[in-house]
């Protein structure tokens, strides 16, 4: 289970295991008050050549493992939400991708996935525009640019 929290990626990079992660008040699944530290997982983010260590907790009651994630990022995507948003809206506004270090194929995938999510989740008659669809999918708790299942 993922718990999104506001964090500073640069500090996580610099401090490693000493980064002061917040601790959930209780298990996010069963509400058990007690949680144990459960080590770290390595995850990769744009702008950092090395993987960053993300803190995990484990609930001894139900066995749930909680991994903390930066709320600035979607699960399993290295670019920040803001980077994705600005690249997509630039493309949709101007018809071109902005100058960027990100690969064109990654950018094109994001847009294609977003359009498929809009069609699948918001009905094919969605008329408020692609970026409005992006925001709407966000409020539904979905990852608008993830590969649709």
CB 6, min distance to Zn ion, A: 23
CB of 5 to Zn ion, least distance (A): 18
At 22, is the secondary structure helix, strand, or coil?
coil
**Interface pick for Zn ion out of 3, 23, 32, 48 (rule CB under 5 A):** 32
Residue 64 near Zn ion by CB under 5 A: yes
Q: Which residue has the tokens 């949680």?
A: 35
Nearer to Zn ion, 62 or 120 (CB): 62
| Integer Cα distance of 75 and 144 in angstroms | 11
* 62 forms part of the interface with Zn ion (CB under 5 A): yes
Query: Does 59 engage in binding with Zn ion (CB under 5 A)?
Result: yes
Nearest-5° Cα angle at 7, 3 to 12: 110
Using the rule CB under 5 A, which residue among 7, 12, 19, 27 binds Zn ion?
Answer: 27
Nearest distance from C-beta of residue 14 to Zn ion, angstroms: 32
Q: Is 30 in the site for Zn ion (CB under 5 A)?
A: yes
Sequential DSSP letters for 99-148: S-SS-HHHHHHHHHHHHHHHHHHS-TT--S-HHHHHHHHHHTT--TTSPP
Residue (27 or 118) nearer to Zn ion, CB? 27
- Cα(147)–Cα(128) distance, integer angstroms: 22
The contacts of residue 148 (CB under 8 Å, 6+ apart) are 113, 116, 117, 120
The interface region with Zn ion, picked from 8-16, 52-60, 75-83, 92-100 by CB under 5 A, is 52-60
Q: Applying CB under 5 A, which residues contact Zn ion?
A: 27, 29-30, 32, 59, 61-62, 64
């Amino acid at each position: 289970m993922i718990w999104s929290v506001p964090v500073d990626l640069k500090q996580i990079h610099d401090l490693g295991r000493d980064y002061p992660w917040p601790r959930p008040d209780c298990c996010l699944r069963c509400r058990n008050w007690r949680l144990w530290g459960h080590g770290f997982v390595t995850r990769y983010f744009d702008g950092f050549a090395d993987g960053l260590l993300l803190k995990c907790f484990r609930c001894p009651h139900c066995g749930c493992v909680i991994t903390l994630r930066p709320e600035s990022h979607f699960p399993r995507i290295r670019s920040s939400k803001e980077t994705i948003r600005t690249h997509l809206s630039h493309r949709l506004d101007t018809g071109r991708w902005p100058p960027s270090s990100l690969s064109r194929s990654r950018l094109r995938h994001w847009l294609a996935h977003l359009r498929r999510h809009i069609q699948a989740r918001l009905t094919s008659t969605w008329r408020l525009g692609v970026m409005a669809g992006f925001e709407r999918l966000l409020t539904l708790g979905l990852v608008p640019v993830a590969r649709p299942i």
